[in-house]
């Protein structure tokens, strides 16, 4: 009987369980459960309904148990970054975790920078500044005296692992998103925690390492599902996605492409200097303590919002239609900055793009084809600029870029990316996060030795589409 590995993959809007088997050379992958994750409002604040999320996970495990029986060997959990829960001395959760976009972080950046400088934080953590980073959430909790009864700090995937197996651990890839983790010391940065008022007792010494077993399901859960292992994977979803990069390069270049594009290099050590700070590059930890030197770029969010506007006006164009119309448009007619603040949450994206172009004396795209092509080419040009800067700062060679995630199916963008960067583009796999989750479970269970072997498994199990630069 083949062993089954379950990847619990939680996003901010939904969750799912993906099942995988391994035959010694290749992986299979199939979805067994999916659900929506709805935030709840308590007073003026927004929270994750952790109990509802956990019940959905148990429902997914029941579906997996009904399908695979006793073949389920292991579970791994990955989620988004920055959010956390607090346990008291008796291991009870002190309220539902806040959602990262909750307004309690308003004014917290200024407050934190008054206690410790921005330069010092970046030099110690190498993490880009975003208003919802854990450092600012913790500062808000400290000012609200929320730590009085708290005894343990757990990031979201750590919290779910605790609920499943009873073990309290911190995992590095998600810890690195907090802006309170020092990648040079490979430990919590006690100076930062002290300056923002977060008690050191909350942050346990030592970290659970990728590719190890945390524990087994709690007895009451084992009675339902069996004595299933709970593995430590790269619990930050981007960390799992990058683990699945189908590359043998020493410093693979990648784009995790979707609503956002996370473009980066995998390095052996972090880079936190004046140049990387000026470019707002971040150093998140990856599987086996690799460093994900990356930058967030606005991705298919622009197309998604345009399609919503067009649909409201009676034109529900699909991607194939848009690509067909865009192919008729002259190349590089309009190139704009996809990360401009005007595009963060406009009421009407096509109008926002047109207004931006007028303001900056650019050719205004008017038809759907012109707008679609302008977006695609502008994203590709941003990739080119980011990778050029990364190459300059890191000294790494970049001749091939692996584009993964849902956006890897976008053939037009992939070709534009190859043209703009001058690099070969390898598109796929689309399910990189689940695959990266699974290979770390395989390591935990002794099926593979390390990340390098896991990537060989990914290469054997997937067939990326290759795009070469064209004039």
Catalytic residues: 237
Cα dist from 86 to 147, 202, 293, whole Å: 8, 8, 29
Tokens 């695609």 belong to residue:
376
Burial degree of 114 (CB within 10 A; 0-12, 13-18, 19+): exposed
Q: Within 10 A of 49 (CB to CB), how many other CB atoms are there?
A: 16
How many Cβ atoms from other residues are within 10 Å of residue 209's Cβ? Answer: 16
Q: Residue 39 CB: number of other CB atoms within 10 A? A: 17
Task: Determine contact, residues 164/216, Cβ cutoff 8 Å.
Answer: no
List phi, psi (to 5°) of 25.
-140, -35
- In whole angstroms, give the CA distance from residue 455 to residue 471: 32
Tokens of 107: 């004014």
Provide the terminal-to-terminal Cα distance of the chain, rounded to the nearest Å: 52
Closest CA to 465 of 411, 400, 423, 416: 411
Torsions phi, psi for 66 (to 5 deg): -65, -30
Q: What is the DSSP letter of 2?
A: -
Beta bridge partners of 293: 265, 283
């Amino acid at each position: 009987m083949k062993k089954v590995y379950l990847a619990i993959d939680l996003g901010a809007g939904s969750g799912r369980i993906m099942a995988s088997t391994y035959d010694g050379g290749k992986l299979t992958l199939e979805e067994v459960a999916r659900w929506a994750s709805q935030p709840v409002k308590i007073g003026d604040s927004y929270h994750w309904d952790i109990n509802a999320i956990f019940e959905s996970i148990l429902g997914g495990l029941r579906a997996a148990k009904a399908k695979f029986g006793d073949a389920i060997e292991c579970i791994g959990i990955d989620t988004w970054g920055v959010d956390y829960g607090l346990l008291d001395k008796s291991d009870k959760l002190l309220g539902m975790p806040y959602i990262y976009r909750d307004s309690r972080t308003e004014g917290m950046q200024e407050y934190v920078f008054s206690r410790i400088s921005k330069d010092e934080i970046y030099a110690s953590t190498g993490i880009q500044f975003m208003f919802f980073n854990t450092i600012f959430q913790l500062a808000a909790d400290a000012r609200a005296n929320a730590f009085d009864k708290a005894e343990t700090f757990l990031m979201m995937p750590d919290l779910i692992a605790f609920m499943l197996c009873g073990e309290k651990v911190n995992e590095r890839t998600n810890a690195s998103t907090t802006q309170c983790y020092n990648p040079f010391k490979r430990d919590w940065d006690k100076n930062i925690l002290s300056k923002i008022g977060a008690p050191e007792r909350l942050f346990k010494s030592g970290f659970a390492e990728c590719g190890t077993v945390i524990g087994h399901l709690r007895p009451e859960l084992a009675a339902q599902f069996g004595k299933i292992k709970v593995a430590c994977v790269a619990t930050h979803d981007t960390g799992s996605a990058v683990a699945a990069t189908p590359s043998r390069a020493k410093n693979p270049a990648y784009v995790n492409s979707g609503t956002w594009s996370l473009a980066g290099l995998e390095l052996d050590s972090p880079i936190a200097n004046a140049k990387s700070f000026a470019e707002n590059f971040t150093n998140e930890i990856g599987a086996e303590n690799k460093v994900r030197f990356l930058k967030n770029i606005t991705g298919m969010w622009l197309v998604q919002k345009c399609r919503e506007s067009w649909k409201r006006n009676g034109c529900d164009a699909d991607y194939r239609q848009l690509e067909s119309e865009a192919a008729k448009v002259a190349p590089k007619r309009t190139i704009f900055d996809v990360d401009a603040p005007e595009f963060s949450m406009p009421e009407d994206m096509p109008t926002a793009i047109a207004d931006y172009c007028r303001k900056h004396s650019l050719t205004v795209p008017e038809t759907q084809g012109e707008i679609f092509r302008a977006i695609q080419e502008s994203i590709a040009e941003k990739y080119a600029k980011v990778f050029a800067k990364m190459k300059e700062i890191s000294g790494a060679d970049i001749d091939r870029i692996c584009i993964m995630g849902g956006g890897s199916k976008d053939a037009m963008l992939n070709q534009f990316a190859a043209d703009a960067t001058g690099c070969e583009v390898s598109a796929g796999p689309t399910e990189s996060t689940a695959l990266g989750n699974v290979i770390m479970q395989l390591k935990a269970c002794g099926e593979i030795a390390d990340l390098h072997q896991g990537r060989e498994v990914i290469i054997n199990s997937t067939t990326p589409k290759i795009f070469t630069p064209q004039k």
